[in-house]
Structure 1
Amino acid sequence: MLNDGGGVLERHEVEAFLTLAEELHFGRTAERLHLSTARVSQTIRALERRVGAPLFNRTSRRVELTAIGRQLEEDLRPAWARMAAALERAVDAGRGVSGLLCVGFVGAAGGQLLVGATEVFRSLRPDCDVQIREAQMAEVVPWLRDAEADIVLAGFPVREPDIVMGPVLVRESRFLALPAGHRLTRQQAVSVEDLARIRVLRVGGAVLDSWRDAHTPPTTPAGRSIEPGPSAGTFQEALTLVGAGQGAFTVGAHARRYYARPDVAYLPFHDAPPVEWGLLWRADAETARVRAFSQAASNLARSHH
């Protein structure tokens, strides 16, 4: 409703008047408002009776604003636009589209993908600020549960009842990081069964069993035990231990590009499933901005395939 100084204008009256002032045609106005032409005419006549003067001149050929009608439009339209904008901002805030979105990422490649997704998201949601933070894999779930991050790009799988695994954004070949000069580097590729012949580093911290078992399993598919190596707190620490001959570590194909080191060799697995990456968020904190960011990241990932 709008107060015109002499009474309150109802929303349907304002919409009918301003739309007719644009269209200058009762039929097109009725179509835009999904009303009958008779209903639009009744609304305008009722408004004119309240004003006490015609707002439109009507002939069989044309409809045009009177001087009073033109003045009313000039006064009403800015106020109506401000009300519509205020309502839209309130709805966006209520649905979680505006405000601040804190997004986390694991690894250099994840950071690059997240920056691209952030650019797409900001172009679609300019009223929402995005804060980007790097996380270690052990920090992902605690950050989400403690609301330190709204959404995190990390390696899958993370199977927890309170955490949502979004769509897979990236699938890449699985590689084994080995000390340079290790006997297995004489091969073109390795098998998952080869893990029983070496020590495999563990990831330290509160990493979930679902993720740890997928990346550093205790046994091979044939049931052969895999000797555990030292624990590493970060990915760079793991590669340093690999280079020092302390063990091997399974990685995604991106490691060859982002973490090239003279003391580490990367060999592809010929029989291992791919490494998958995607977005994670807390199930009870799935706001519109979280869904919008997930959609932006999915669109970006598809455009790169």
Structure 2
Amino acid sequence: MELRDIEIFLTLSEELHFGRTAERLHVTQARVSQSIAKQERRIGGSLFRRTSRRVELTSIGARLYTELKPAYQQILTSTRTAAETARGIHGTLTIGTMGALYHILTTTNAEFRGRHPAAELDFVEIQPTAPFAELRSGEVDLALLWLPVRESDLTVGQVMSERPVVAMIGSGHPLAKRSSIRMEDFGDYEVPWSSRPLPKYYEEALIPFHTPSGRPVRRGTKVSTWQETLIAVSAGEVIQAIQAEAADYYPWPGVIYLPIDDAPMGRWAFVWRTDAETPLLRAYIESAGNVA
């Protein structure tokens, strides 16, 4: 079976309409009909059940589609990868980071550009309230996210930073007079609440739902961006457990950062869509590994 005939069969299986299939593949309806007839003769059975009103897969056709689709996708991926390898590493890799976290990639970026001068890097800001959105939409190829990430469609790679979480507190807040706090203190105050739903495990890694003794940690002001979080904290409305890098990059009027004596570790790692790994992406991950 030729690759074009496979493409026609798979497309007709999805469209269930000869006209739409022809239009989608930029061929004539006669070409579609001829291809399907040829495949049915080769197989010795009908792949589609046709009436004047509808087209539907037979049981043979449905099974063939289920088994053929992933194999066809693998052929396309392998062919594309081989072509990219033959041409060398080039193209543009778009990386998503949260705010100033871009700076911890400076050495990796220099390493990558030195090894692959034909490739380019672009950077897009990711909001903490929607950490996976740009990855899944394809807006970014690779994202630097805090861990853990337990998403079935995403792969977790190189850890780039590991430091204890700190507390972000308004300078007029009662806790601001202390030199450090403990995780149990979060049970006495409100913390921000993401305006967009986050996986519970992901939110809890940074802002627990319960203190170590089991007291609930109350959600207060809703925020949708990092700037809104800074504003809410500086106003004394909430306190926030945050990655230690925030203290490095975000000095803010009315905000202080305190150590948490029993803080969990905050870890940042690269994450990408499992089905969208390319030689360009792998080359960047390799550079990150060399630096780390």
TM class by shorter-chain length?
A: 0.5 to 0.7
Q: Which region of structure 1 is more displaced relative to structure 2, 92-101 or 255-264?
A: 92-101
Larger Cα Rg: Structure 1 or Structure 2?
A: 1
1:157-201, Cα deviation, whole Å (9 max, x unpaired): 221011111121101121111111322222221111110011111
Tell me the equivalent position of 1:240.
231
Alignment of 1:216-227 (within 5 A): 216-227=207-218
Post-superposition CA distance 1:193-219 (Å, at most 9, x none): 110011111233243322211112211
CA–CA distance in structure 2, aligned partners of residues 136 and 240 of structure 1: 15
* Contact 1:158/1:208, CA 8 A, preserved across alignment: no
Contact in 2 for aligned 1:137/1:207 (Cα 8 Å): no
The structure-2 alpha-carbon separation of the partners of 1:139 and 1:97, relative to structure 1 and needing over 3 Å to count, comes to: farther
Corresponding residue of 1:124 = 115
> Which residue matches 1:215?
206
Number of residue equivalences: 212
Q: Please point out which of 103, 106, 111 is paired with 2:95.
A: 103
Aligned 1:188-199 pairs, distance under 5 A: 188-199=179-190
- Asked if structure 1 preserves the Cα contact closer than 8 Å seen for 2:85 and 2:279, the reply is no
In structure 2, relative to structure 1, the CA distance for the partners of 1:90 and 1:280 (3 Å cut) is: closer
Q: Bigger shift: 241-250 or 96-105? A: 96-105
Contact (CA 8 Å) 1:95, 1:288: kept in 2 or not?
no
Q: CA deviation at 1:299?
A: 2.6
Offset at residue 233 of structure 1 (A): 1.0
Q: What is the distance in 1 between the residues matched to 2:111 and 2:276?
A: 22
Q: Secondary structure at the match of 2:96?
A: strand
Q: Which residue identity is paired with 1:99? A: G
Q: Which runs of 5+ in 2 are unaligned?
A: 1-80
The residue type equivalent to 1:223 in the other structure is G
How much does 1:90 deviate?
6.5
Calculate the TM-score normalised by the size of structure 1.
0.65
SS of structure 1 residue aligned to 2:157? strand
1:157–1:211 Cα contact (<8 Å) kept: yes
> 1:68-79 to 2 correspondence within 5 Å?
none
Identity of aligned residues (%): 33
CA gap 1:286/1:200 in 2 versus in 1, 3 angstroms: same
Describe the superposition over 1:135-175 as per-residue Cα deviations: whole angstroms up to 9, x where unpaired: 11234312111211110112222210111111211011211
Q: How has the CA–CA distance of structure 1 residues 93 and 295 changed in structure 2, closer, same or farther, with 3 Å as cutoff?
A: closer
Partner of 1:168: 159
- Cα distance in structure 2, aligned partners of 1:240 and 1:136: 15
Q: Which of residues 184, 198, 206 is equivalent to 2:175? A: 184
Among 193, 200, 212, the alignment partner of 1:202 is 193
CA distance in structure 2 between the aligned counterparts of 1:211 and 1:181, rounded to whole angstroms: 29
Unaligned runs of 5+ in 1: 1-88
One-letter code aligned to 2:228: E
- Counterpart secondary structure, 1:205: coil
Paired residues of 2:166 and 2:258 also in contact (CA < 8 A):
yes
TM-score, length-scaled by structure 2:
0.67
| Cα offset, 1:96, TM superposition | 8.1
Change (3 A) 1:206 1:120: farther
Distance 1:297 1:201, change over 3 A: same
Q: Give how far 1:114 is off.
A: 2.9
Deviations 1:55-77 (A, max 9, x none): xxxxxxxxxxxxxxxxxxxxxxx
| CA–CA separation in structure 2 for the residues paired with 1:198 and 1:94 | 58
Alignment of 1:241-280 (within 5 A): 241-280=232-271
Work out the CA distance in 2 between the residues paired with 1:200 and 1:187: 18
Contact 2:166 2:241 (C-alpha < 8 Å) held by counterparts: yes
